[in-house]
A and B are shown apart, each in its own frame.
Chain A
Amino acid sequence: MTIALEARNLKKVYPGVVAVNGINFAVTEGICFGLLGPNGAGKTTTVEMIEGVTSPTAGEIFYYGEPAGKKFRQEVGIQFQNTALQDFLTVRETIEMFRSLYERKADIDDIIEQCSLGELLDRDNRKLSGGQRQRLLLAVALVNRPRIIFLDEPTTGLDPQARRNFWDLVQSIRAGGATIVLTTHYMDEAQVLCDEIAIMDAGKIIAQGAPDALLRKQYEGLIIELPLADITTDLNGVEHLVIENMGIVEVVTTDVSKSLQELAPHVTNLNHIKIRQPNLEDLFIDLTGHTLRD
């Protein structure tokens, strides 16, 4: 396994705030690596330090074993969450302009086809829909045949259909061999796209690994979920019980039948019970104590 990217003791301090507090992680070549965390966790600062657009207060970044430098800048593609493009330029002109800034150049027709921009080439940047705009920004990130692509919350604000289309696009890029570093608020997105994730909170990485492995490590079994309002009496005796802030009671269990039998006498309406697999959002809430949208 080749390590494409490595951050060592990365730290960023703003006046009065430690945004990133000495984190370490490595990204294996060819995977999709997800950086998750609530707003203010430090994930965007972390990614921007790696991308080279923000200077770290301390720490080092290595690109294929070498300190990230000019070569890194030539070989990475970046899609920021909020990027304005030049007004009055068309989609084609925008792609061509960014492409000309690199020594490594992708075939422009391939990018256009890959990002489904063929019918939009002569359209003014300002007249693109949210999904079209994100596809253009991704195309801009691909103009140099990047070995690593950074995607910073690429589907925020998109409708469900556009999000899924974008996921397909990201998966096709990854299938082409590129390494992807994704930051996202959406747990379903991370679960679908990421081979490995790191969860950040308060400037630190609090968990890292493959999503399934992290879930298996944290949870043994399934989750039984029921509304707090449906519970009539004390739940003493029910094992692995968690009462959520949102008025939901959760029970993590490896024996669903036994847990249901324990719960049944205390619940007014069994129809409201849900049984599901634990997911990354559960993991995040358990690890940090707050939701990803905080």
Chain B
Amino acid sequence: MFARIYSIFKSRNREFLRDRASFTWNLLLPIVLMLGLSFAFNEDRNAYTVAVLQDGDDIVTEQHPFLSMRYIRFVATSDKEDALAKLSRHQLDMLVEFDTPPRYWVNPDSAKGHFVELALLQSSSTSPPMIEKEQILGDAVRYVDWVLPGILGMNMMFSCMFGVGYVIVRYRKNGFLKRLHATPLTSFEFISAQVLSRMVLIMCITAFVYTGTHLFLDTRMDGNYFTLFLVALVGALSMVSLGLVVSARVTSEELAGGLLNLINWPMMLLSGVWFSLEGAGSFAQNLAKIFPLTHVLNSARAVMLDGATLADVAPSLVALLGLSVVFFFIGSKIFRWHQY
């Protein structure tokens, strides 16, 4: 069995590596995106963002004049720890709570934090303002540091899903799968080989792009490389398996492309590839949790930007592994060799 899996694995790798156009595209896309974004978003964010610690999503502006100020985006949050972590990374400019007693948290190293603090104090109706101040320390996270996991994850998503999904549909359509079916190769062996092949290739490409970006742009890495590797590995497995489900029975490349895009685009938009979903509604944030990419990006950012340990990201890894097992099982069960 392993000899057969290895044989299909090897031939698929050769096919991919010799297809120079596809290979180059897979390699260049994330690099070009990273370089472009690093230049385009080199400046700090130009809007002020203040989190309001409260229950519920609706911010009642009447509770304090500060909440009616222009040019400040107010975001409701009930997760204090998460908000403080973001404040420490300069992803939020201030955290404020209008409970009793009213309090606010600000990062003294943040210039924008300083200005929203002034705005808060000037808007207060009492003199001196009756609001407690607390400080949170931490260095800013550049956009390029924040977006790197997103770019790598997005490239991984497209490569895994199209690299497996589209290729299997093409094999089915042109009769290559039918020819393999006439050999002792089982569907489990074939699928395993495809998954392994894509896993190895995407891990190599991701490692290459990450290393190059890290060296060239000096991106932030506060955590452990092994933990990050595990996040990428399990994430790739989940997305390859998802591609497998899509391609298990489809016989048309057009339909496969449509279905893959139907999954990929919402996943890309809602998983926080480019921007944080902080300001998005709770429905969108909850919906995002069903996507493997959301767990991959959250875990990767936690490792790279917050120094999260394996134990910290273990719940996400377990979720991704669970999704992989479910997808792989469904894909194997409904897999069809023939076009008709």
Contact = CB atoms under 8 A, between A and B. Distances in A.
Interface of A: 51-54, 70, 73-74, 76, 78, 80, 82-89, 93-94, 96-98, 100-103, 140
Contacts of B3: 100
A87 B174 CA distance: 11
Contacts of A53: 178, 181-182, 337-338
B11 interface: yes
Interface stretch (B13-21, B57-65, B198-206): B13-21
Nearest to B7: A100
Contacts of A52: 181-182
Given A80-B179, A100-B3, A86 B184 contact: no
A101 B184 contact: yes
Given A53-B337, A80-B175, A84-B174, A89 B181 contact: no
B19 A102 contact: no
B176 interface: yes
Contacts of B180: 101
A83 B181 CA distance: 12
A86 B176 contact: yes
B11 A87 contact: no
From B171, B175, B337, residue with most partner A Cβ within 10 Å: B175
Contacts of A103: 184
Given A84-B179, A97-B11, 16 more contacts: A53-B182, A76-B182, A80-B179, A84-B171, A85-B176, A87-B18, A88-B18, A88-B19, A89-B18, A93-B11, A100-B3, A100-B4, A100-B6, A101-B8, A102-B183, A103-B184
A148 to B, nearest CB: 12
Nearest to A141: B182
A97 B178 CA distance: 15
B35 interface: no
B179 A86 contact: no
Nearest to B10: A97
Nearest to A97: B11
B182 A84 contact: no
Interface string B217-239: 00000000000000000000000
B185 interface: yes
Centre residue among A51, A85, A89, A97 by max chain B CB count within 10 A: A97
A89 B185 CA distance: 19
A86 B6 CA distance: 16
A101 B183 contact: yes
A83 B175 contact: yes
B184 A83 contact: no
Nearest to A88: B18
B242 to A, nearest CB: 24
B170 to A, nearest CB: 9
Interface in B289-340: 337-338
Contacts of A88: 14-15, 18-19
Nearest to A137: B179
A73 B4 CA distance: 14
Given A86-B11, A100-B7, A70 B184 contact: yes
Contact of A89 (B14, B175, B183, B337): B14
A80 B177 CA distance: 12
A86 to B, nearest CB: 5
12 contacts: A53-B338, A73-B182, A73-B183, A78-B182, A87-B18, A93-B14, A94-B11, A97-B8, A98-B183, A101-B4, A101-B7, A101-B184
Contacts of B15: 86-89
Contacts of B12: 86
A9 B265 CA distance: 51
Contacts of A73: 182-184
A54 B340 CA distance: 10
Contacts of A78: 179, 182
A101 B7 CA distance: 7
A13 to B, nearest CB: 14
A102 B7 CA distance: 11
Contacts of B178: 53, 80, 83
A74 B10 CA distance: 21
The 8 closest A-B pairs by CB, nearest first: A84-B174, A88-B18, A100-B7, A78-B182, A101-B183, A97-B11, A83-B179, A84-B176
A68 to B, nearest CB: 12
A101 B185 contact: yes
Contacts of B185: 101
A87 B22 CA distance: 13
Nearest to B174: A84
Contacts of A89: 11, 14-15, 18
Given A87-B19, A88-B18, A101-B184, A82 B11 contact: no
A101 B10 CA distance: 12
